[in-house]
Amino acid sequence: MELDFSLFIFLRFSIKLPLLHLAQIIFFFTCARPLCHDNERIALLQFKDSFVIDKNASLLPLAYPKFASWTGEKNYDCCFWGGVKSDKESVHVIALHLNSSCLYGSINSTSTLFHLSQL
């Protein structure tokens, strides 16, 4: 009797675990958030390259270069870069918070920053 019960429990969990893993995989792929728009990532990287990052450009002792997290890797989501805020639904960049980022330079009228239509 005890062996039958143990076998029943074993079979019950051995069937449920693969189904649970399958459900997790399906959930991950259907709910996974898309990456930021490629043209916006490129525009942000070009914007970054137009500045000099200088620790002396900020008077605040806790200032740090938020651009440090901005990487050119294609599959890296720019929505998670320091100082970048994106819309959760459209995944467009909607704001930049670059205060105390140790930036030195100016924004000219041909800056790629103006390519970010939702900003």
pLDDT in tens, 21-34: 555 555 444 445 66
Residues 67 and 97 in one domain: yes
Residue 16 confidence (pLDDT): 54
CA angle 115, 83, 78 (to 5 degrees): 60
Backbone angles phi, psi at 107, to 5 degrees: -100, 120
What does 30-69 look like in DSSP terms, one character per residue?
A: HHPPPPPPHHHHHHHHHHHHTSEE-GGG---TT---GGGG
Q: Give me the residues paired with residue 93 across strands.
A: 86
Average of per-residue pLDDT across 4-19: 56
Residues 66 and 27 in one domain: no
Local confidence band at 52 (pLDDT 50, 70, 90 cut-offs): confident
Residues 45 and 25 in one domain: no
Q: What is the pTM of this model?
A: 0.65
Cα separation, 22 vs 24, whole angstroms: 5
Which residues form the domain of 26?
Answer: 1-32
Residues 13 and 48 in one domain: no
Residues 54 and 92 in one domain: yes
Higher-confidence residue of 85 and 104: namely 85
The string of pLDDT tens digits covering residues 90-109 is 999 999 998 877 777 788 88
Residues 22 and 74 in one domain: no
Residues 47 and 95 in one domain: yes
